[in-house]
Structure 1
Amino acid sequence: MNLKLDHFVHYINNLSEFKYPGELFTLYNGGRHERFGTFNRLAYISNAYIELLDVYNKETLLKLSKTDEGRVAFPSKLVQDNYKQGLKTLAFSTDDIDYLKLELESKGVDIIGPVKMNRVDAKGKKTEWQLLYINELDEKVKPPFFIQWDEPDEVREKKLAPYRQNEFTVKRVCIGCENRKITAAKWRQWFEMLVVNDDEHVTQLQLPNDNVIYEFYNSDNPRYEKIVLHDSKTTASYTLIIRGLHYRCEAD
């Protein structure tokens, strides 16, 4: 299916005033999603980026969250969680979103999309992409959604290269679940993931074409709890809890 981690969606209240402690990650202005009433700022690291998301028009977001598309769209999780800060979901990139839709539907997965999207930055430059969503509302942990950018990977990467902090690399995503066996089994089937480890405490999965590990465990507070990164510039590991999300940065 040629899926890879593309980015995280971390909801931050009052994003315009936010800075990472110690300016851990450099933030760049993204733009507005007029369709959702949201805006973002972006932190680029070596193998993904972190999208910090906030709302400038709650009425627009609330109205959209009541539609079929809106119920599964990534910003709707903000409404569903009553605007509690934290990591809400993540996106896998694909190079053929139409084929991906057919593959998932052949597995009995209910799909919404592709949906054409865009954002406009402060200079009026438009960035366009397509999104695909899994219509799975029973899980408290929102499944990943899928993104296909409307420009070739090599062109996009050339543009992003100057902004990436390559000392940071995502290693693991830690996910608390109501029933980790069920959630992990769904991800494994849907995304054709490989089993890295499965014991009495955790299940670890990996996409065939990506090195990031997805770690599932039972929790009374189901959520995307932690991202674990390698920091090539530190000599000692450290953890920062930032607006509902644990950032664990590990040394060599």
Structure 2
Amino acid sequence: MQYLKLDHLVHYIQHLDNFKYPGHLLTLQQGGQHEKLGTYNRLAYLNNAYIELIDVYKPDVLQKIIKTDEGRVSFPSKIVQDNYAQGLKTLAFRTQDIEQLKLDLEKKDVEVIGPVNMQRENMKGDKTSWKLLYIADPDYRVKPPFFIQWNEQEDTRNEKLASLRQNEFIIQSVELTSTEREHTVNKWQRWFDMEIINETESVTTLKLMGDEILFNISDGNDSGYKSVTIKDNKTTSPYTLIIRGLSYKFIAD
């Protein structure tokens, strides 16, 4: 399978129009609306990935779409499944060839849905488009990450986003729990060709072959994404912010 990288995290926040990170620590950029899903977003670009803050502006549209095969696995479907509880809902892994990725997964007998063409439009009328691929396997304890391919060359996209990135912040790891850790670990290894970096009696650390970000899967009484650890090159001591159902752990580099 081709190398994958973490592209972004999806953090659901209610009343997003009025939200700002404490002390404006992370700068939010204008995103746009996903008219097909009834959601909209704001974006915080960091050095090696970005955080997508998402909210729902048409609940009836989202409620309707998640009853379809595509909708039930779509990235905002977990919002409804969690009864609109705020927090980190899922992750997106970036690929350069989503059609080949689909073939690779199907060769492993992994059921997928997509690629799905998506776009959003900002207030200026500028459109951004991409393709998504979802794992349709219903037997999971944590909503699996999905795949994204942007409809522009990576160098072009990186150049366009360079001025928006807060390069002092680098995502180091994502922490999640599973009621059946071994089950989740086995799935993630199979789906994403992840390698085990470390394992203890209660935590397994995984890594994508083409990325340095770690994924720490712990035993838990429930399953879900719990925290993100971010290196802050401008701090000398660690600090933690609990923001709308997600723990942001900042560490000194």
> TM-score normalised to the size of structure 2?
0.98
Establish whether residue 68 from structure 1 lines up as the match of residue 69 from structure 2. yes
Letter of the 1:29 partner, please give it. Q
Structure 2 unaligned runs (5+)? none
Question: SS where residue 134 of structure 2 aligns?
Answer: strand
**For residues 55-204 of structure 1, what are the structure 2 equivalents within 5 Å?**
55-204=56-205
Letter of the 2:41 partner, please give it. N
Q: In 1, Cα distance between the equivalents of 2:64 and 2:184?
A: 29
> TM-score normalised to the size of structure 1?
0.99
184-193 vs 33-42, greater mean Cα deviation: 184-193
Q: In 1, Cα distance between the equivalents of 2:81 and 2:141?
A: 10
Q: Kindly report structure 1 stretches of 4+ aligned residues shifted beyond 6 Å.
A: none
| Matched-pair contact (CA < 8 Å) for 2:141–2:180 | no
| Matched-pair contact (CA < 8 Å) for 2:11–2:52 | yes
Identity of aligned residues (%): 56
| Matched-pair contact (CA < 8 Å) for 2:169–2:232 | yes
Deviation at 1:246, TM superposition (A): 0.4
Establish whether residue 230 from structure 1 lines up as the match of residue 215 from structure 2. no
Give CA deviations for 1:44-83 in whole Å, capped at 9, x if unaligned.
0000000000000000000000000000000111111110
Deviation at 1:137, TM superposition (A): 2.8
Q: In 2, Cα distance between the equivalents of 1:140 and 1:16?
A: 31
Question: SS where residue 140 of structure 2 aligns?
Answer: coil
Structure 1 unaligned runs (5+)? none
Q: In 1, Cα distance between the equivalents of 2:173 and 2:124?
A: 35
Q: Residue 39 of structure 1 corresponds to which residue in structure 2?
A: 40
| Matched-pair contact (CA < 8 Å) for 1:11–1:53 | yes
Question: SS where residue 209 of structure 1 aligns?
Answer: coil
Question: SS where residue 142 of structure 2 aligns?
Answer: coil
Q: In 2, Cα distance between the equivalents of 1:76 and 1:89?
A: 10
Q: In 1, Cα distance between the equivalents of 2:137 and 2:165?
A: 33
Deviation at 1:141, TM superposition (A): 1.5
RMSD: 0.8
Q: Residue 53 of structure 1 corresponds to which residue in structure 2?
A: 54
| Matched-pair contact (CA < 8 Å) for 2:141–2:184 | no
Q: In 2, Cα distance between the equivalents of 1:77 and 1:109?
A: 21
Letter of the 1:37 partner, please give it. G
Q: Number of residues paired by the alignment?
A: 252
Deviation at 1:201, TM superposition (A): 1.4
Q: In 2, Cα distance between the equivalents of 1:226 and 1:80?
A: 20
